[in-house]
Amino acid sequence: MPTVMEIDTLVSPIKTEKLDLEPETLPSKCRKKKSMVWEHFTVKAVGDGIARAFCKQCKKSFAYISGSKVSGTSHLKRHISLGICPASRQKTMQSPHLKKYSSVDTALPKKRVRATPWLGVIPFDQERCNNEVAKLIIALDHPLQIVEHKGFIDFVRTLQPQFSSLSSTDVHGDCISMYLSEKQNLLNLIRQIPGRVNLTLDLWTSNQTVAYAFLRGHFIDSDWNVHHPILNVIMVPFPDSDDSYNKVVVTCLTDWQLNGRVFTLALDQSLNENVMGNLRGLLSARNPVIFNGQLVSRNCFARVLGRLALDALWAMRETVRKIRESVKLVKISKSNEAEFNKLRQQLQVPSTKDLFIDNQTKWDTTYHMLVAACELKGVFVCFETPGHDHGMTLSMCEWNQVEILCTYLKQLYDAANLLTCQPYPTANLFFSVVSSLLVELTSAAFSEDPFLSNLIRPLLERFDQYWGESCLVMAAAAAMDPRYKMVFVESKFCQIFGETNAEPWIRVVQDGLREILNEYIVELLPLTTTDGDEGNEIMIKTEPFEEGSDGSIYIDTEGIEDFDIYISDISGNLIKSELDQYLEEPLLPREEELDILSWWRLNMSNYPTLSRVASDILSMPLSTLSADSVFNTEIGKMDSYRSSLSSMTIEALFCAKDWLHYQSLPLHVPMH
């Protein structure tokens, strides 16, 4: 028998006739070996009944079989996984992109992995780690000082011992750098959009005597992708001053080069009429004031719905309080809840809703609490505990009134869900929802049921004011929907105002669309034209300014009147060829789902100017609130920590979080 014989353990079991060993000295099952270590070791017989495992890299041998004893493979795994093998270690040093198995991978897979046994290494990059820490702090609203906390340092160094500790100053600089880099990307994008930008201004309070204005931009880019980034977060040191918000808007226009490019401005409802008037004057100098100034408004749809819901809940506050206390009694202890559920099963109440105590800063939670309680009213009627206060017991009349309340809260809730199904939905979707809600509230307000009419009539008065101030803008947006156009607008106006009184409203919408389109056409007109008969180029000539004796500036207006007539004639023809052609085309079927932005992108060649109008109208925000704030009953408040930061840092953290979260910006936008 040869003194050394290599045995192919990967193909066949160890052969007893070759090793001269008894069968009982072999492993219990002679089968194909599947452990991953056999990619790095071979088994060789070195004597009677003795076999050793030899490392293919360093040729070092290890005990494997000795008489009746089988050593197993754990020590072989350690040789590979812990980097003990000198040949393997040297190879890794020569190839920095390779690495040995991590020390945490001591339990190698039992089954053979077909991939290369040596895994690639990602070289440690301190700068990249710093950026990721900055992203984490921005995304989760952590204080900058968290990087100096011992728990954070210990955790990071456990993952990567080479990580160098950061100071709050370091991470502050990383956050600012990230913000400035993303801001430049966004600015490059805004410079290239073909249309205009819609703005919303939402106001936050603080524990101090200052407020914070959040300005968000809403626009559609050249590829018809919609964007809603926060543009500025600006401290307002004197929020009660009528002209403070002029400075806020001017700062935004300057930062983002938006002079003459703002289409609408929607404001927080807490701002007064003087502020509104000042802002209208500011924007009208460079932007048209159409629809009777409705393109500068403070009619936030989410705020209006929230106000209506709170008014209805306040009207029934005592009944709502009783239900809240009854629910609290059930949820206050496990024994009460178990008794309630037992009674619920005995009465076979079909409701699948669970009781919960509402969060009074979110009016939708109060609505859901009332709905669940109403479905379980039969259980509440029979439910009594030793601590039960009979003053909280509702009569059947009160339960019926709560059910009526829930019916109309549901209509408000469904309307508000339009704002939560997607961030800032396109403006064409609102006219149908708002007009239908108006019809429902009007019908209820004039109901013969005195309870219902008294409950809804104050709501209708508030909502009717909102409708009167906003319906024309929403109607114009609906007209840009090829499924509706002016046909749907006319039918709704006739339903609400009557056929006789609807005509002036319809005409205002049509004239408003023509006015907007006319401005866009004039804006796109070239400053040179050609006389077809003579072939001579006619230049629009502008004389230099002249200064009068009194220091005043005047301009030679000779020929301006003819130019105005020329513009009017050209504009009229173009308006007819695009707006009228669009309105006269057959409506698209409403049964089909429509991506309205894709439709306009595909029809840009048919309506080159009208499509630009559509992009600006469809991106109009009807709410100043983000999707997660739609049901809030309180306005936003800056916490004490953020209030202690500089205004630049506050803006950087809020804006960067918004941009990184929604990923609304391309990675690179070339500059022009």
Look at the block and give the residue holding tokens 């995304």. 139
Q: How confident is the model at residue 549 (pLDDT cuts 50, 70, 90)?
A: very low
Burial classification of residue 82, based on how many CB atoms lie within 10 Å of its CB (0-12 exposed, 13-18 middle, 19 or more buried): middle
What HEC string does 171-221 produce?
HHHHHHHHHHHHHHHHHHHHHHCCCCEEEEEEEEEECCCCEEEEEEEEEEC
Q: Which amino acid is at 190?
A: I
Burial classification of residue 133, based on how many CB atoms lie within 10 Å of its CB (0-12 exposed, 13-18 middle, 19 or more buried): buried
Q: Are 296 and 289 spatial neighbours (Cβ–Cβ below 8 Å)?
A: yes
Q: Which amino acid is at 182?
A: E
Asked whether the predicted pLDDT for residue 393 surpasses 50, the reply is yes
Q: Are 615 and 194 spatial neighbours (Cβ–Cβ below 8 Å)?
A: yes
Look at the block and give the residue holding tokens 């200052």. 210
Q: Which amino acid is at 580?
A: D
- Which helix (H) or strand (E) segment holds residue 656: the answer is helix 647-662
Least confident range of 151-165, 191-205, 452-466, 544-558:
544-558
Average pLDDT estimate for 355-366: 95
Given this model, what pLDDT does residue 115 score?
47
Asked whether the predicted pLDDT for residue 664 surpasses 60, the reply is no
Q: Which residues lie closer than 8 Å to 534 by C-beta, 6 or more apart?
A: none
> What is the tens place of the pLDDT at every residue in 440-459?
999 999 999 999 999 999 99
Q: Are 447 and 435 spatial neighbours (Cβ–Cβ below 8 Å)?
A: no
> What is the tens place of the pLDDT at every residue in 3-12?
444 434 433 3
- Give percent above pLDDT 70 in the chain: 77
Q: Which residues lie closer than 8 Å to 492 by C-beta, 6 or more apart?
A: 431, 432, 435, 475
Instruction: Give the span between the Cα atoms of 370 and 511, in whole angstroms.
Output: 46
Average pLDDT estimate for 204-224: 94
What HEC string does 453-489 produce?
HHHHHHHHHHHHHHHHHHHHHHHHHHHCCCCCHHHHH
DSSP symbols for 2-30: -S-EEE-TTTSPPPHHHHT--GGGS-SS-
> What is the tens place of the pLDDT at every residue in 63-111?
887 777 777 777 787 777 665 676 665 555 554 443 433 433 444 444 4
Instruction: Give the span between the Cα atoms of 305 and 301, in whole angstroms.
Output: 6
Asked whether the predicted pLDDT for residue 629 surpasses 80, the reply is yes
Q: How confident is the model at residue 537 (pLDDT cuts 50, 70, 90)?
A: very low
Given this model, what pLDDT does residue 547 score?
42
Instruction: Give the span between the Cα atoms of 436 and 560, in whole angstroms.
Output: 48
Q: Which amino acid is at 87?
A: A
Asked whether the predicted pLDDT for residue 30 surpasses 70, the reply is no
Q: Which 3 state secondary structure label does DSSP give 203?
A: strand
- Please provide the average confidence, as pLDDT, over all residues in the chain: 81
Q: Are 248 and 213 spatial neighbours (Cβ–Cβ below 8 Å)?
A: yes
Q: Which amino acid is at 222?
A: S
> What is the tens place of the pLDDT at every residue in 272-310?
778 877 887 887 765 655 555 567 787 899 999 999 999
Q: How confident is the model at residue 32 (pLDDT cuts 50, 70, 90)?
A: low
Instruction: Give the span between the Cα atoms of 496 and 511, in whole angstroms.
Output: 20
> What is the tens place of the pLDDT at every residue in 411-437?
999 999 999 987 789 999 999 999 999
602: left (phi over 0), alpha (psi -120 to 50) or beta: alpha
Higher per-residue confidence, 13 vs 499: 499
Given this model, what pLDDT does residue 358 score?
95
Q: Which residues lie closer than 8 Å to 618 by C-beta, 6 or more apart?
A: 220, 426, 427, 428, 477, 480, 596, 597, 600
Q: Within a 10 A sphere around the Cβ of 3, how many other Cβ atoms?
A: 8
Q: Within a 10 A sphere around the Cβ of 195, how many other Cβ atoms?
A: 21
Q: Are 503 and 281 spatial neighbours (Cβ–Cβ below 8 Å)?
A: no
Average pLDDT estimate for 653-659: 95
